[in-house]
A and B are shown apart, each in its own frame.
Chain A
Amino acid sequence: MGKPLVVLDNVSYQYDSQEDFALKNVSMKVYEGEWLAIVGHNGSGKSTLAKLLNGLQFPTEGSISINGITLSEDTVWDVRRQVGMVFQNPDNQFVGTTVQDDVAFGLENNGVPAKVMGERVVDALSRVNMESFLDQEPHHLSGGQKQRVAIAGVLALRPSIIILDEATSMLDPRGREEVIETIMKLQQEESITVISITHDLEEAARANRILVLNKGEIYREGTPEEIFQMDEELVRLGLDIPFPVKMSKQLSEKGVVLSKYYLTEEELVAELWTSHSKM
């Protein structure tokens, strides 16, 4: 594991209009180069946490430090240079009148020279297969196309931390796979740190670590293996069990002997093949 890049110390957050705290006593670390998935029921505080990490709002109690800098109104711009965020609703994110202007906007703000900027914009848009929409107005795109452009906007910035807030929820299955692969490649090759908020358990199963939020508090943290062993407890938390685990369970109940419940289809197929094919 790399060094701790993001450190939350006893963070709580309360929205002005609400009686309850949206986040309560959250302490956690995110390590350099890891892929951390954050899961939890609707309203558990995931987006609130994301907005705190990006300095869109500040903790009511506790403190956050990112790459050694304590987040405050004075440091927020330095921090945002390192943290790229894709919001849950892409419409809230668009500022440009064309797709290419929109992606360029963040670069301009960071003082990237014009020539480099053009290249980076096209590069980022081709990574998400949107290079043929350069002059389209972002609000006049289909739902999935909007999400792709929003992701390109962050890729172009090349931040050291990428926060995805359900950034692929409206992509078709193969499109989602491609986009996740693209970001995973960046994470591995350039040691980018990814914090991905998701309801897609298959995606969470591929993370290095999973954090489960429940009613504004950290319920548990662990490897995908550890988390998905929680089984029916996950359903109580508003979550579910990934398909290969469900399949393993159902097969065991039907008398097919398995040494454990598998997290990936490949492993389950492999065990079925080695232990049962010669029956």
Chain B
Amino acid sequence: MDISLKNVEYRYQNNTPFERLAISDVSINIESGQYLAIIGHTGSGKSTVLQHLNALLKPTKGTVWIGNREIRAGRKEKNLKEVRQKVGIVFQFPEHQLFEETVEKDICFGPQNFGVSEEEAKRRAKEAIKQVGLHEEILSKSPFDLSGGQMRRVAIAGVLAMEPECIVLDEPTAGLDPRGRKEIMDLFYRLHRENHVATVLVTHSMEDAARYADEIVIMHKGRVQKKGTPYEIFSVPEDLLELGLDVPEVVRFQLKLEKAFNVKFGKICLTAEELTDAVADYLRGGTPK
């Protein structure tokens, strides 16, 4: 299932004195099986874009295609259940998606709402809770009696249990401990690789954008500023700095080394492993490649 935004504009509180233009003229294509990262300064419109991907927000101008369903500005949209089932969103603040008395009920809510039997939903809840690194006992607790990172994990488990065709992640690692961050990002990547789940990741971690995405979109002041592969995007650090962004730490370190040694390693390395090899080679040979 492909999702595409065509010339989308969104104004919060449209036609009121509080109206606020959040995004304009945004065109983005997400092909089935793609891993897209969206990066950008605070307030650049990333979360607003994401909420169009399952029609939580409807454009005030332009069109959104979710599979073969068209969502157009100025039209009443009914029966969005199918869309919500296909596209699962993990929100920026997990509290916004937790509401049931127990963690188990919370995770089961999505699947059951979409017609999965109670038994199957419970089975999925059990599996999902383990996938996000929590113990089964947590299923019987109230989601509001959890720590911030535990809530985040439960919110993620809820989306996993829906088994959506497209997973949309709004800063999913904020609040996770460093090991959890890595484990959960690896989990999403596995789902993407093995089950061809289309994945859209909004992140402030340039490292994650570089490591996992095949394509990166940079948002700036509500517009799409630039698109490219991680390699293309992170090869031009000046552009990123100008937009208030940064390069991944490994690129930053490479640039510092190149400056100190007054050499160029030839290409930008996006992982620590690549850079280690480049540096070791250089130090051994002494000649830049």
In the complex, what's the smallest C-beta–C-beta distance from B184 to chain A, in angstroms? 11
Residues A142 and B249 in contact, CB atoms below 8 Å apart = no
Q: Determine whether the beta carbon of B149 is less than 8 Å from that of A43.
A: yes
Alpha-carbon distance A79/B148, docked complex (angstroms)? 25
Distance, CA A41 to CA B204, complexed state (A): 21
Q: Is the CB of B43 within 8 A of A142?
A: yes
Q: A250-B276, A256-B283 are in contact. Are A91 and B148 (CB under 8 A)?
A: no
Q: Which of A88, A91, A140, A201 has the most CB of B within 10 A?
A: A88
Rounded to whole angstroms, the CA-CA distance of A141 and B150 in the bound complex is 24
A2 close to B (CB within 8 Å): no
| 0 or 1 for each of A165-203: is its CB under 8 Å from B? (1 = yes) | 010011111111000000000000000000000010110
B182 pairs with A240, CB closer than 8 A: yes
**Residues of chain A lying within 8 A (CB to CB) of residue B20:** 140
For B244-285 the 0/1 string (1 means CB < 8 A from A) is 111001101100110011000000000011011101100110
Smallest Cβ distance from B101 to chain A, in angstroms?
12
Cβ–Cβ < 8 Å partners of B148 in chain A = 42, 47, 88-89, 166
Asked if A81 is at the interface (CB within 8 A of a chain B CB), the reply is no
Q: Does B232 contact A (CB under 8 A)?
A: no
User: Known: A247-B276, A265-B256. Contact between A41 and B179, CB under 8 A?
Assistant: yes
Say yes or no for B95: interface residue by CB 8 A criterion.
yes
Number of residues from B at the complex interface, CB < 8 A: 57
B178 touching A238 by the CB < 8 A rule? yes
Q: Is the CB of A279 within 8 A of B245?
A: no
Which A residues touch B288, using CB under 8 A? none
| Per-residue interface assignment for chain A, residues 50 to 79, with 1 indicating a CB less than 8 Å from any chain B CB and 0 otherwise | 000000000000000000000000000000
| B177 interface contact, C-beta 8 A | yes
Which stretch from A4-12, A118-126, A266-274 is at the chain B interface?
Answer: A266-274
Which of A28-36, A100-108, A143-151, A221-229 forms contacts with chain B? A143-151
Contact (Cβ within 8 A) A91 B43: no
Across the interface, B283 reaches (CB within 8 A) one of A172, A244, A279, namely A279
**Chain B residues positioned under 8 Å from A153 (CB to CB):** none
Q: Check A250/B272 contact, CB under 8 A, given A172-B204, A238-B177.
A: yes
Question: Which of the 9-residue segments B78-86, B118-126, B168-176 touches chain A?
Answer: B168-176
Question: Hey, which chain A residues are within 8 Å of B42, CB to CB?
Answer: 142-145, 148, 170-172, 175
Q: A246: CB under 8 A from chain B? A: yes
Chain B residues engaging chain A, CB cutoff 8 angstroms: 12-13, 18, 20, 40-43, 47, 92-93, 95, 141-142, 145-150, 152-153, 170-171, 174-182, 204, 206, 241, 244-246, 249-250, 252-253, 256-257, 260-261, 272-273, 275-277, 279-280, 283-284, 286
